[in-house]
Amino acid sequence: MTIEAASYQIGDRVRVTQQVPRQLGTTTTTVEGVILRAGQQKTGSWFAHSKDKKLWLDRLELRADDGEIIVVNLDQFSRVEKL
């Protein structure tokens, strides 16, 4: 899911659940917060053969209840729920 296709808006409270498949099972991580920024950002990957020769990732920037800023890279294993 790309961020453009999703209906995220600044100020929405969301829960992001990510799964990382591993050889011995799947690791799941969940974070909650208010969206500060949503969009695609490029990485510093010099080897990627795409726009601007950089790798572009879908990212959400969240503010947790304790004020912590969390940057989440979204992939096919990410699930975003509005709260």
78-82 sheet: strands from edge to edge: 69-74, 56-63, 25-42, 13-22, 78-82
Quickly state the pLDDT bin for 47 (edges 50, 70, 90): low
| Cα 68 to Cα 2: distance, rounded to the nearest angstrom | 24
At residue 3 the predicted structure's pLDDT band, cuts being 50, 70 and 90, is: low
Mean pLDDT of 48-65: 78
Mean pLDDT along residues 19-26: 82
DSSP-assigned beta bridge partners for residue 72: 60
pLDDT of 40: 86
Mean pLDDT within 28-49: 82
**Residues with Cβ within 8 Å of residue 3, at least 6 apart in sequence:** 38, 39, 40, 58, 59, 60, 74
Count Cβ atoms below 10 Å from residue 68 Cβ, excluding itself: 10
Question: Residue 67: how many CB atoms within 10 A of its CB?
Answer: 7
This prediction's pTM: 0.76
The residue with greater pLDDT, 10 or 53, is 10
